Amino acid sequence: MSVALIAHDEKKADLIEFATEHSAILEHYDLIATGTTGKKLMEATGLDIERKASGPLGGDMQIGAEVASNECEAVIFLRDPLTAQPHEPDISALLRICDVHDIPLATNLASADAVLDGLTKDEN
């Protein structure tokens, strides 16, 4: 099972910091990410991440397909609610597919912490 990591441009630094702080947990999962986010995360953290297409090219939809195929255990999508750009992934479809398949989706750092806490409790 994988954990997906996505971030709007203005939240990529926050996701890198989050992944760095939680690398000991994240390294136990198959990680997937949209293209640019995945590249930046790998460069900053050394985590092994399968990169999908960039968000504007459908990477978020590729991740949605993994959710629909029951291959993704959780999604962390740090979105910028105030200044998201038109080229950035839209959370609506991903949120819908996560709700349909009962997959947790975190949209901010507090909920991302809660999702990781839940994943680690499920393992124990």
87 is in an annotated binding site: yes
8 is in an annotated binding site: yes
Q: Has 60 been annotated as catalytic? A: yes
121 is in an annotated binding site: no
The Cα–Cα gap between 31 and 84 comes to 24
37 is in an annotated binding site: yes
54 is in an annotated binding site: yes
Could you tell me which of 35, 28, 43, 25 has the C-alpha nearest to residue 5? 35
35 is in an annotated binding site: yes
Active-site hit among 60, 80, 90, 122: 60
The Cα–Cα gap between 111 and 106 comes to 5
Please report, in range form, the residues annotated as the binding site.
8, 12, 34-37, 54-55, 87
Please report, in range form, the residues annotated as the binding site for substrate.
8, 12, 34-37, 54-55, 87
Query: Which residues are known to be catalytic?
Result: 60
